[in-house]
Structure 1
Amino acid sequence: MKEFLKKSASALSIELTDEMLEKFQIYFDFLLETNKSLNLTAITEMKDVVLKHFVDSISIVSYFDLKGKKVIDVGTGAGFPGIPLAILNPDTEFVLADSLKKRLHFIDQVTEKCDLKNVTTVHGRAEDLGQDTMYRERFDYCVSRAVASLPVLLELCIPFVKQNGYFISYKSETLQQELGQAKHAMQELNCSLYQEYSYTLPETDYYRVLAAFSKNGPLKKKYPRQAGKPKRNPL
């Protein structure tokens, strides 16, 4: 696993140290073991886990310098992209948010096993956390690999970002269509598309794109709306 991960990351010009690779190995082993009793991922083949979870998660470091920043991962699930990014960026503060306590318990165990001092978890729905002064507009970056349409993700994620910070969404071929649907959301949430970064995962035709949105000004107090509304009635 370590050899394949190192080679695959290097194909994206990301170099991993032996210490990082060892932490990924611990994460990999514990993910597959825990997945037998807790449904964390449908992806379990070694190469698929490495490419679709690990390498995809860390792709952002090819384009953004997270060192010394404060980052929140919304809807982290089994810890993607937060844990892989935390392994690569020990000087960066990561908050991993999810609505399911069982997943966060798994992540807490991972951080302990991997000796990650730069990760904390928070339980709650993004709509509620985004109105909490502890988290609202406190982060340089918000990242999310959560599966939701862009208008929904923008309302859930932009509230965490400081003015002049960024929300980075991991997307695929549907991005252009979703951008068309998100014009009103961008206006309402005072954000705009900053840049798109596209890449193909090594040794595959798996197309990915990072859509980075800049927070251009203050956010209206009513956003995010109460739990469930962003998904039921997207902006």
Structure 2
Amino acid sequence: MREVMSVVYSRLAVPALSFSVHRHPFHRRLCFRHPLTPLLRINHFTAVANQRAEATALSPEHSAQTATPVSDDSSFPILQPLSSQQKEQISLYIRTLLEWNQRMNLTAVMEENEVMTRHVEDSLAILPPLRRSYMSHCQSSTFDVLNVVDVGSGAGLPGLILAIAYPSWKITLLESMKKRCLFLEHIVSQTGLSNVQILCERAENVGQCIGFRELYDVAVARAVAEMRILAEYCLPLVRVGGLFVAAKGSDPREEVKSAENAIRLMGASIVELCTVESHSPRGQRTAVICRKDHATPKKYPRHPGIPTKMPL
């Protein structure tokens, strides 16, 4: 029996089955698929003290309290629309990522400029096609207030960068590895972002949780899995009428074609493949954009590990 449980936090009991990200932005919740597999949501307005203490204890000795600014706009023109504060947050993110990377495997990149080109620019590059598709296909007149989930967020890419670029968005970073979630908790605290929450759980479990299923306007995924698997991870989380955006390489047509059945089974359709403006050394990038047309059947996503072992 799948249900949303309430917990007591700061002497405030939240009624069961009343979950809403928008109505209760300050509550920490537990959603149980099974009594032994809790789904932990960390809301960064009210993250518990022992989690912050653990993050501090395991962070590098010389934590990035300050960071040198990113290179000037002439080197990275995609940064031009950002404010000085947003650029400082990106600098701090890059510095902290590289420092933590000395202790845990967060990225293969070792230089600040390479993090900019391979990760930050690559993440920001999906924004123009996302805006165009959302305004065209989602019957919405606004792009400034979205509820977005980054599935398989890893080191916070692209979700944390999107949270910096759009502070009016609500961003959920969904990551199953606890060590990476610890890094995400730390960097969100360091950058002062108030529009980010972290879910430390597998996408298959979150997709079957009533508090998160078909909740989000947009789901994004970057460097997580092939499209057949991503469709089952992401689309159950997207509301009917919302979008799923997968950041892919230069020519994902064969991969997308093999995923058409999985996308259809999830209640969605492919609306476009967009070449994105990215200066990544990996070359041209593509955003695969799908629209959620119908509710996802209740049997999806399947149990953890099944989408990878038996792709649709």
Same fold, judged at TM 0.5 (above): yes
Query: Quick one: distance in 2 between partners of 1:203 and 1:40?
Result: 18
Deviation (angstroms), 1:9: 4.5
1:4 has 2:71 as partner: yes
Q: Describe the shift of the 1:94–1:5 C-alpha distance in structure 2 as closer, same or farther (beyond 3 A).
A: farther
1:213 has 2:213 as partner: no
Contact 1:194–1:214 (CA under 8 A) maintained in structure 2:
yes
Q: Describe the shift of the 1:226–1:214 C-alpha distance in structure 2 as closer, same or farther (beyond 3 A).
A: same
1:107 has 2:184 as partner: yes
Contact 2:245–2:288 (CA under 8 A) maintained in structure 1:
yes
1:21 aligned to 87, 112, 118, which one? 87
Deviation (angstroms), 1:90: 0.5
1:31 has 2:97 as partner: yes
Q: How does 1:108-123 map to 2 (within 5 A)?
A: 108-123=185-200
Gaps of 5+ in 1: none
Deviation (angstroms), 1:234: 0.5
Q: Describe the shift of the 1:123–1:205 C-alpha distance in structure 2 as closer, same or farther (beyond 3 A).
A: closer
Structure 1 counterpart of 2:164: 87
TM-score by length of 1: 0.94
Structure 1 counterpart of 2:127: 61
The residue type equivalent to 2:228 in the other structure is P
Structure 1 counterpart of 2:254: 177
Contact 1:73–1:142 (CA under 8 A) maintained in structure 2:
yes
The residue type equivalent to 2:204 in the other structure is E
Query: Quick one: distance in 1 between partners of 2:79 and 2:290?
Result: 24
1:230 has 2:296 as partner: no
The residue type equivalent to 1:188 in the other structure is L
Q: Describe the shift of the 1:111–1:30 C-alpha distance in structure 2 as closer, same or farther (beyond 3 A).
A: same
Contact 1:14–1:62 (CA under 8 A) maintained in structure 2:
no
Matched-pair identity in %: 32
Superposed CA deviations along residues 80-117 of structure 1, whole A, max 9, x for unmatched, are 00111000100100000111111111111111111100
Query: Quick one: distance in 1 between partners of 2:178 and 2:280?
Result: 35
Comparing 217-226 with 144-153, greater Cα deviation is found at 144-153
Contact 1:6–1:16 (CA under 8 A) maintained in structure 2:
no
Between structure 1 and structure 2, the one with the greater Rg is 2
1:196 aligned to 245, 270, 273, which one? 273
TM-score by length of 2: 0.71
Deviation (angstroms), 1:4: 3.0
Structure 2 counterpart of 1:76: 153
Deviation (angstroms), 1:45: 1.8
Query: Quick one: distance in 2 between partners of 1:156 and 1:118?
Result: 23
Query: Quick one: distance in 1 between partners of 2:73 and 2:87?
Result: 7
Contact 1:74–1:146 (CA under 8 A) maintained in structure 2:
no
- How many corresponding residue pairs? 234
Deviation (angstroms), 1:198: 0.6
Superposed CA deviations along residues 127-169 of structure 1, whole A, max 9, x for unmatched, are 1110001111000000011331110000110000000000000
Query: Quick one: distance in 2 between partners of 1:3 and 1:118?
Result: 22
Q: Describe the shift of the 1:107–1:205 C-alpha distance in structure 2 as closer, same or farther (beyond 3 A).
A: closer
SS of match in other structure, 1:7: coil
The residue type equivalent to 2:209 in the other structure is D
Q: Looking at secondary structure, tell me which structure has more helix per residue.
A: 1
SS of match in other structure, 2:214: coil
1:47 has 2:113 as partner: yes
SS of match in other structure, 2:185: helix
Two-structure CA RMSD over aligned residues (Å): 1.7
SS of match in other structure, 2:125: helix
Structure 1 counterpart of 2:217: 140
Deviation (angstroms), 1:204: 4.6
